[in-house]
Amino acid sequence: MRSSNTNRPNSRRGQSRHSDRLSDSSAINLKLRNPHSILAALSVRPEDFHEIRIARDGDHTGSWLEVLRMAEAAGISIEVGKVDSQSSQGRSYVGEAEIKPREPISVADMFSDPKVGDIWLGLDGVQDSRNIGAIARTAQFFGVRGIVLTRDRTAPITAISHDVAAGGLEVLKISQPPNLSKALSEIRSLGVWIVGTAEDAEANLQSLKPDRPWLILVGNEEKGLRRLTREACDLMVSIPSNDQFVSSLNVSVAAGITISSLKI
C-alpha cells in the first residue's frame, strides 16, 4: 500500500477497542518510537494504547512487523501515513505509538516484601530524561525491583525516557513520592538499607555486599546527592578511578556499575 498524501484519506488497519476511552487525554499521552519499547508496552498494558501510526505500509521488518501483529491482535487502531517520519533533528522513524503514561505506585507497595539480595534504585535530582531511560534499561537488565524518583526535583519520565529504556520502563515498578527525604525514612523503616554513591566517599564499592536488601541512590549529573539525601544513607561508596584526568562517570554508567557489583 502506498503512503497517504493530502489527497487521500489516512488508511486504517484496525479498529481500536481502546481509543474512545483514551481520546480525551491524548494531549498528555506519550509518543513512543522505539519498537522495543512499544513491544514491551503491548505485552504488559495494551489497554493503555490510543493508536499506532506508521509512515508507510509495506516498509516494516523485524520488530515493527511484530508491533503490527500484536496491535492488530489487541484491537488497537493502526493509522497508515499519519506519522511525521522525521524528528526535528532529522532522524527518520518508521512509526510511533500513542500511549498513556504509567501510573506510579506508593513507596509502601514497592517495598512491601524486601528480601536479602533485592535491589532498588533511587534518583536524586537526575535532570536528563535520557539518563533516566538509560538507568531504567540497565536496572531491568539486572533485575532491579523498582525505581524511586521525585516529581519536582528530577526530570520527568518522557517518551524519550521510554525509548532509551527499550522496554525497561514498561516493566520496572516506579514510585514518585513528593519528598525524597521522607520517602527514604519510610524505606528504612521497612527493612531496606540505603547506599549512596559519591566520588568523595571514603568506602570503596567493593565493600558493598549482597547480604541485605539495598536501595542504591545516584544523584544529579553535576552536583551529585543532596546533603539531606547523603545523611539518610546507611553507607556511602565511591567507584575507584585509575585515571588522573577522568574522576567521575555519567550517572547511568555509575548506576550500572553499582548494580552489577551486587549482582555479579
> Chain-centre distance of CA 1, in angstroms?
35
Q: Provide the pairing of β-strand 95-99 with 30-32.
A: antiparallel
**Banded pLDDT at 147 (limits 50, 70, 90):** very high
CA-closest candidate to residue 140, choices 252, 51, 61? 252
Domain 107-263 has CATH 3.40.50.2300: no
**Banded pLDDT at 86 (limits 50, 70, 90):** low
The one-letter amino acid code at 2 reads R
Q: Is the pLDDT of residue 16 over 80?
A: no
The span from the CA of 106 to the CA of 196, in Å, is 22
Q: Is the pLDDT of residue 60 over 80?
A: no
Q: Provide the pairing of β-strand 11-12 with 78-80.
A: antiparallel
The one-letter amino acid code at 3 reads S
- Residue-level pLDDT at 69: 95
The span from the CA of 210 to the CA of 1, in Å, is 55
The span from the CA of 146 to the CA of 121, in Å, is 6
Percent of the chain with pLDDT over 70: 83
Q: Dump pLDDT digits (tens) for 33-59.
A: 999 999 999 999 999 999 999 886 555
Q: Give the DSSP H/E element, type plus range, for residue 256.
A: helix 251-263
Residue 190 and residue 231 in contact, taking contact as beta carbons nearer than 8 Å: no
- Residue-level pLDDT at 80: 86
pTM assigned to the model: 0.84
Backbone angles phi, psi at 74, to 5 degrees: -90, -5
Locate the domains of the chain by residue range.
Answer: 11-99, 107-263
- Residue-level pLDDT at 201: 93
For 101, counting Cβ atoms within 10 Å of its Cβ (0-12 exposed, 13-18 middle, 19+ buried), the class is middle
Q: Dump pLDDT digits (tens) for 188-206.
A: 999 999 999 998 999 989 8
Beta strands in the chain (DSSP E): 11-12, 30-32, 49-54, 78-80, 95-99, 119-124, 146-149, 173-175, 193-197, 203-204, 214-219, 235-238
The span from the CA of 14 to the CA of 73, in Å, is 9
14-41 mean pLDDT: 69
- Residue-level pLDDT at 57: 56
Q: Dump pLDDT digits (tens) for 227-259.
A: 999 999 999 999 988 877 887 889 999 999 999
Question: Which CATH fold would you assign to the domain 11-99?
Answer: 60s Ribosomal Protein L30; Chain: A; (3.30.1330)
**Banded pLDDT at 61 (limits 50, 70, 90):** confident
The span from the CA of 30 to the CA of 157, in Å, is 10
15-38 mean pLDDT: 67
Backbone angles phi, psi at 20, to 5 degrees: -60, -40
